[in-house]
Amino acid sequence: MQEFSPVKEGKVREIYDVGENLIMVATDRISAFDVILKNKIVKKGEVLTRMSKFWFDLTKDILPNHMVSMDVKDMPEYFQNENFDGNSMLCKKLTMLPIECIVRGYITGSGWASYKENGTVCGIKLPEGLKECDKLPEPIYTPSTKAEIGDHDENISYEKSIEVLEKQFPGHGEEYAKKLSDYTIALYKKCADYALTKGIIIADTKFEFGLDENGEIVLGDEMLTPDSSRFWPVEGYEPGKSQPSFDKQFVRDWLKANPESDYNLPQEVIDKTIDKYKEAYFLLTGEKIQ
Protein backbone atom coordinates (compact mmCIF):
# COMPACT_ATOMS: atom_id res chain seq x y z
CA MET A 1 0.00 0.00 0.00
CA GLN A 2 1.33 3.41 -0.97
CA GLU A 3 1.80 5.73 2.01
CA PHE A 4 1.24 9.49 1.85
CA SER A 5 2.57 12.45 3.84
CA PRO A 6 1.01 15.90 3.90
CA VAL A 7 2.42 18.27 1.29
CA LYS A 8 1.07 21.18 3.31
CA GLU A 9 -0.08 21.60 6.89
CA GLY A 10 -2.18 24.53 8.03
CA LYS A 11 -3.26 25.40 11.55
CA VAL A 12 -6.10 22.91 11.31
CA ARG A 13 -5.89 21.20 7.92
CA GLU A 14 -3.51 18.78 6.23
CA ILE A 15 -3.28 18.55 2.43
CA TYR A 16 -2.21 15.37 0.64
CA ASP A 17 -1.29 15.20 -3.04
CA VAL A 18 -2.72 12.03 -4.59
CA GLY A 19 -1.89 12.73 -8.22
CA GLU A 20 -4.74 14.28 -10.16
CA ASN A 21 -6.47 15.47 -6.97
CA LEU A 22 -5.76 16.58 -3.42
CA ILE A 23 -7.15 15.22 -0.18
CA MET A 24 -7.95 17.84 2.42
CA VAL A 25 -8.13 16.50 5.98
CA ALA A 26 -9.69 18.59 8.74
CA THR A 27 -7.90 17.57 11.93
CA ASP A 28 -9.26 17.91 15.46
CA ARG A 29 -6.75 20.68 16.16
CA ILE A 30 -8.12 24.10 17.05
CA SER A 31 -6.48 27.49 16.66
CA ALA A 32 -7.20 30.89 18.14
CA PHE A 33 -5.39 34.20 17.68
CA ASP A 34 -3.30 32.45 14.98
CA VAL A 35 -1.93 29.96 17.54
CA ILE A 36 -2.56 26.19 17.50
CA LEU A 37 -3.88 25.19 20.92
CA LYS A 38 -2.48 22.23 22.85
CA ASN A 39 -5.82 20.40 22.97
CA LYS A 40 -7.69 18.33 20.41
CA ILE A 41 -11.43 18.84 19.97
CA VAL A 42 -12.57 15.30 19.10
CA LYS A 43 -15.01 15.11 16.12
CA LYS A 44 -14.35 18.74 15.20
CA GLY A 45 -12.70 17.75 11.91
CA GLU A 46 -15.74 15.73 10.91
CA VAL A 47 -18.11 18.60 11.71
CA LEU A 48 -16.02 21.01 9.60
CA THR A 49 -15.83 18.65 6.62
CA ARG A 50 -19.50 17.69 6.62
CA MET A 51 -20.56 21.31 7.04
CA SER A 52 -18.37 22.42 4.13
CA LYS A 53 -19.92 19.69 1.97
CA PHE A 54 -23.41 20.87 2.92
CA TRP A 55 -22.67 24.46 1.86
CA PHE A 56 -20.78 23.41 -1.30
CA ASP A 57 -23.87 21.45 -2.39
CA LEU A 58 -26.18 24.37 -1.56
CA THR A 59 -24.21 26.96 -3.54
CA LYS A 60 -23.05 25.16 -6.68
CA ASP A 61 -25.62 27.19 -8.63
CA ILE A 62 -23.57 30.34 -7.84
CA LEU A 63 -20.18 28.95 -8.85
CA PRO A 64 -18.40 25.57 -8.93
CA ASN A 65 -16.36 24.33 -5.96
CA HIS A 66 -13.38 22.02 -5.58
CA MET A 67 -15.16 19.11 -3.85
CA VAL A 68 -15.06 15.75 -5.64
CA SER A 69 -16.06 13.31 -2.87
CA MET A 70 -16.13 12.75 0.88
CA ASP A 71 -16.27 8.95 0.51
CA VAL A 72 -12.93 7.36 1.50
CA LYS A 73 -13.71 4.55 -0.97
CA ASP A 74 -12.98 7.11 -3.70
CA MET A 75 -9.55 7.77 -2.19
CA PRO A 76 -6.32 5.70 -2.25
CA GLU A 77 -6.22 2.71 0.12
CA TYR A 78 -4.06 4.60 2.64
CA PHE A 79 -7.05 6.85 3.46
CA GLN A 80 -9.63 4.07 3.76
CA ASN A 81 -9.67 3.85 7.55
CA GLU A 82 -11.29 5.53 10.55
CA ASN A 83 -8.54 8.17 10.84
CA PHE A 84 -9.75 9.74 7.60
CA ASP A 85 -13.39 8.64 7.37
CA GLY A 86 -15.72 11.63 7.76
CA ASN A 87 -13.06 14.33 8.09
CA SER A 88 -11.49 14.07 4.62
CA MET A 89 -12.47 15.49 1.25
CA LEU A 90 -11.15 14.58 -2.20
CA CYS A 91 -10.72 17.87 -4.05
CA LYS A 92 -9.71 19.22 -7.44
CA LYS A 93 -6.33 20.91 -7.62
CA LEU A 94 -6.59 24.67 -7.94
CA THR A 95 -4.17 27.56 -8.27
CA MET A 96 -5.23 29.41 -5.13
CA LEU A 97 -5.72 33.18 -5.27
CA PRO A 98 -3.68 35.07 -2.62
CA ILE A 99 -6.65 36.81 -0.96
CA GLU A 100 -8.82 35.86 2.02
CA CYS A 101 -12.31 36.98 1.06
CA ILE A 102 -13.98 38.21 4.23
CA VAL A 103 -17.60 39.33 4.33
CA ARG A 104 -19.25 41.01 7.29
CA GLY A 105 -23.03 41.19 7.66
CA TYR A 106 -22.97 42.37 11.28
CA ILE A 107 -20.56 44.62 13.15
CA THR A 108 -18.52 42.67 15.69
CA GLY A 109 -14.99 41.63 16.61
CA SER A 110 -12.17 43.66 15.05
CA GLY A 111 -14.75 45.46 12.87
CA TRP A 112 -16.52 46.79 15.95
CA ALA A 113 -13.22 47.89 17.50
CA SER A 114 -12.32 49.78 14.31
CA TYR A 115 -15.78 51.36 14.02
CA LYS A 116 -15.65 52.67 17.59
CA GLU A 117 -12.30 54.26 16.82
CA ASN A 118 -13.07 56.04 13.55
CA GLY A 119 -16.45 54.99 12.15
CA THR A 120 -14.95 52.71 9.51
CA VAL A 121 -14.26 49.01 8.99
CA CYS A 122 -11.24 48.26 6.81
CA GLY A 123 -11.50 51.77 5.39
CA ILE A 124 -15.23 51.46 4.58
CA LYS A 125 -17.28 54.29 6.10
CA LEU A 126 -20.35 52.99 7.96
CA PRO A 127 -23.48 54.80 9.20
CA GLU A 128 -23.22 56.60 12.53
CA GLY A 129 -24.90 55.24 15.66
CA LEU A 130 -24.40 51.52 15.11
CA LYS A 131 -24.39 49.34 18.22
CA GLU A 132 -22.17 46.30 18.77
CA CYS A 133 -23.48 43.32 16.77
CA ASP A 134 -25.93 45.45 14.76
CA LYS A 135 -26.86 44.14 11.33
CA LEU A 136 -25.22 46.25 8.62
CA PRO A 137 -27.45 47.90 5.97
CA GLU A 138 -25.67 45.70 3.38
CA PRO A 139 -22.92 43.09 3.81
CA ILE A 140 -19.43 44.53 3.27
CA TYR A 141 -16.45 42.86 1.58
CA THR A 142 -13.18 43.32 3.47
CA PRO A 143 -10.36 41.30 1.89
CA SER A 144 -7.13 40.38 3.64
CA THR A 145 -3.79 38.87 2.74
CA LYS A 146 -3.07 35.23 3.52
CA ALA A 147 -0.44 34.75 6.21
CA GLU A 148 1.84 31.81 6.86
CA ILE A 149 1.42 29.90 10.14
CA GLY A 150 2.47 32.12 13.03
CA ASP A 151 1.87 35.35 11.13
CA HIS A 152 -1.28 37.44 11.12
CA ASP A 153 -3.49 38.04 8.10
CA GLU A 154 -3.49 41.72 7.15
CA ASN A 155 -6.70 43.55 6.24
CA ILE A 156 -6.34 45.40 2.93
CA SER A 157 -8.49 47.70 0.84
CA TYR A 158 -10.30 46.54 -2.29
CA GLU A 159 -7.84 48.64 -4.32
CA LYS A 160 -4.91 46.91 -2.64
CA SER A 161 -6.46 43.51 -3.45
CA ILE A 162 -6.35 44.49 -7.14
CA GLU A 163 -2.61 45.21 -6.77
CA VAL A 164 -1.92 41.90 -4.99
CA LEU A 165 -3.80 39.92 -7.65
CA GLU A 166 -2.28 41.88 -10.53
CA LYS A 167 1.22 41.15 -9.26
CA GLN A 168 0.62 37.38 -9.33
CA PHE A 169 -1.72 37.32 -12.34
CA PRO A 170 -0.70 40.17 -14.68
CA GLY A 171 -3.60 41.55 -16.69
CA HIS A 172 -6.23 39.97 -14.40
CA GLY A 173 -5.99 41.96 -11.14
CA GLU A 174 -9.10 44.08 -11.61
CA GLU A 175 -11.14 41.25 -13.15
CA TYR A 176 -10.33 38.78 -10.37
CA ALA A 177 -10.81 41.35 -7.58
CA LYS A 178 -14.32 42.21 -8.82
CA LYS A 179 -15.29 38.56 -9.26
CA LEU A 180 -14.03 37.68 -5.77
CA SER A 181 -16.04 40.53 -4.25
CA ASP A 182 -19.19 39.65 -6.21
CA TYR A 183 -18.96 35.91 -5.47
CA THR A 184 -18.22 36.53 -1.78
CA ILE A 185 -21.30 38.74 -1.33
CA ALA A 186 -23.56 36.41 -3.36
CA LEU A 187 -22.47 33.32 -1.40
CA TYR A 188 -22.89 35.08 1.91
CA LYS A 189 -26.36 36.42 1.10
CA LYS A 190 -27.70 33.04 -0.01
CA CYS A 191 -26.25 31.14 2.94
CA ALA A 192 -27.07 33.78 5.57
CA ASP A 193 -30.69 33.88 4.36
CA TYR A 194 -30.87 30.07 4.56
CA ALA A 195 -29.26 29.97 8.03
CA LEU A 196 -31.78 32.50 9.39
CA THR A 197 -34.59 30.06 8.57
CA LYS A 198 -32.77 27.49 10.75
CA GLY A 199 -32.27 29.79 13.73
CA ILE A 200 -28.68 30.84 13.03
CA ILE A 201 -27.26 34.28 12.25
CA ILE A 202 -24.05 34.20 10.19
CA ALA A 203 -22.39 37.39 11.39
CA ASP A 204 -19.31 37.10 9.18
CA THR A 205 -17.25 34.53 7.33
CA LYS A 206 -14.37 34.09 4.91
CA PHE A 207 -14.03 32.30 1.58
CA GLU A 208 -11.05 31.26 -0.49
CA PHE A 209 -11.01 30.85 -4.24
CA GLY A 210 -8.71 29.37 -6.84
CA LEU A 211 -8.40 28.90 -10.60
CA ASP A 212 -9.09 25.58 -12.30
CA GLU A 213 -7.21 24.24 -15.31
CA ASN A 214 -9.33 26.46 -17.59
CA GLY A 215 -8.57 29.62 -15.62
CA GLU A 216 -12.10 29.76 -14.18
CA ILE A 217 -12.64 30.88 -10.57
CA VAL A 218 -13.66 28.00 -8.27
CA LEU A 219 -14.56 28.02 -4.57
CA GLY A 220 -11.94 26.14 -2.54
CA ASP A 221 -10.75 25.40 1.01
CA GLU A 222 -13.50 25.16 3.65
CA MET A 223 -16.86 26.90 3.61
CA LEU A 224 -18.98 28.47 6.33
CA THR A 225 -17.72 26.34 9.20
CA PRO A 226 -17.59 27.44 12.84
CA ASP A 227 -13.82 27.80 12.32
CA SER A 228 -14.15 30.35 9.52
CA SER A 229 -17.38 32.10 10.57
CA ARG A 230 -19.23 33.65 13.47
CA PHE A 231 -22.54 31.84 14.09
CA TRP A 232 -25.01 33.32 16.57
CA PRO A 233 -28.39 31.94 17.68
CA VAL A 234 -31.34 33.97 16.37
CA GLU A 235 -33.10 33.33 19.66
CA GLY A 236 -32.01 35.96 22.16
CA TYR A 237 -30.15 38.06 19.57
CA GLU A 238 -29.88 41.58 20.92
CA PRO A 239 -27.55 44.27 19.54
CA GLY A 240 -25.60 46.38 22.01
CA LYS A 241 -23.56 43.55 23.49
CA SER A 242 -21.57 40.50 22.42
CA GLN A 243 -23.66 37.47 21.43
CA PRO A 244 -23.48 33.84 22.48
CA SER A 245 -22.05 31.82 19.60
CA PHE A 246 -21.83 28.39 17.99
CA ASP A 247 -18.23 28.92 16.94
CA LYS A 248 -14.80 29.15 18.53
CA GLN A 249 -15.53 32.61 19.94
CA PHE A 250 -16.25 30.63 23.11
CA VAL A 251 -12.61 29.48 23.10
CA ARG A 252 -11.30 32.98 22.30
CA ASP A 253 -13.29 34.46 25.19
CA TRP A 254 -11.93 31.88 27.62
CA LEU A 255 -8.34 32.48 26.48
CA LYS A 256 -8.75 36.24 26.86
CA ALA A 257 -10.08 35.74 30.40
CA ASN A 258 -7.23 33.33 31.24
CA PRO A 259 -4.03 34.88 29.85
CA GLU A 260 -1.84 32.51 31.89
CA SER A 261 -3.37 29.40 30.29
CA ASP A 262 -0.49 28.84 27.82
CA TYR A 263 -3.16 27.94 25.23
CA ASN A 264 -4.23 24.88 27.25
CA LEU A 265 -8.00 24.48 27.57
CA PRO A 266 -9.79 22.77 30.48
CA GLN A 267 -11.97 19.75 29.60
CA GLU A 268 -15.14 21.73 30.30
CA VAL A 269 -14.28 24.25 27.57
CA ILE A 270 -13.35 21.43 25.14
CA ASP A 271 -16.70 19.68 25.76
CA LYS A 272 -18.72 22.88 25.39
CA THR A 273 -16.89 23.77 22.18
CA ILE A 274 -17.60 20.50 20.35
CA ASP A 275 -21.21 20.57 21.61
CA LYS A 276 -21.60 24.03 20.03
CA TYR A 277 -20.13 22.81 16.72
CA LYS A 278 -22.40 19.76 16.64
CA GLU A 279 -25.46 21.84 17.54
CA ALA A 280 -24.80 24.28 14.71
CA TYR A 281 -24.40 21.39 12.25
CA PHE A 282 -27.66 19.81 13.40
CA LEU A 283 -29.62 23.07 13.18
CA LEU A 284 -28.35 23.78 9.66
CA THR A 285 -28.59 20.29 8.18
CA GLY A 286 -31.03 18.32 10.34
CA GLU A 287 -28.37 15.61 10.72
CA LYS A 288 -26.71 14.56 13.97
CA ILE A 289 -23.02 13.74 14.38
CA GLN A 290 -22.51 11.33 17.28
In this structure, the number of other CB atoms found within 10 A of the CB of residue 256 comes to 11
Question: How much is the average pLDDT of 256-280?
Answer: 92
**CA dihedral in degrees (54, 57, 59, 62; nearest 10)?**
160
Where are the chain's structural domains? Answer: 8-92, 96-250
Instruction: Give the pLDDT of residue 56.
Output: 98
The answer regarding whether domain 8-92 maps to CATH 3.30.200.20 reads yes
Q: What is the DSSP string of 47-109?
A: HHHHHHHHHHHHHTTTS-BSEEE--GGGS-GGG-STTTTTTEEEEE--EE-SEEEEEEEE--H
Q: What's CA 199's distance to the chain center, in Å?
A: 19
Tell me how far apart the alpha carbons of residues 159 and 62 are, in angstroms, rounded to a whole number. 24
User: Which carries the bigger pLDDT value, residue 145 or residue 189?
Assistant: 189
* pLDDT tens figures, 99-136: 999 999 999 998 999 999 999 998 899 999 999 999 99
- What's phi and psi for 37, nearest 5 deg? -75, 165
Instruction: Give the pLDDT of residue 79.
Output: 97
CATH code of domain 96-250: 3.30.470.20
pLDDT over threshold 60, residue 200: yes
pLDDT band of 152, cuts 50, 70, 90: low
Tell me how far apart the alpha carbons of residues 133 and 155 are, in angstroms, rounded to a whole number. 20
Instruction: Give the pLDDT of residue 70.
Output: 97
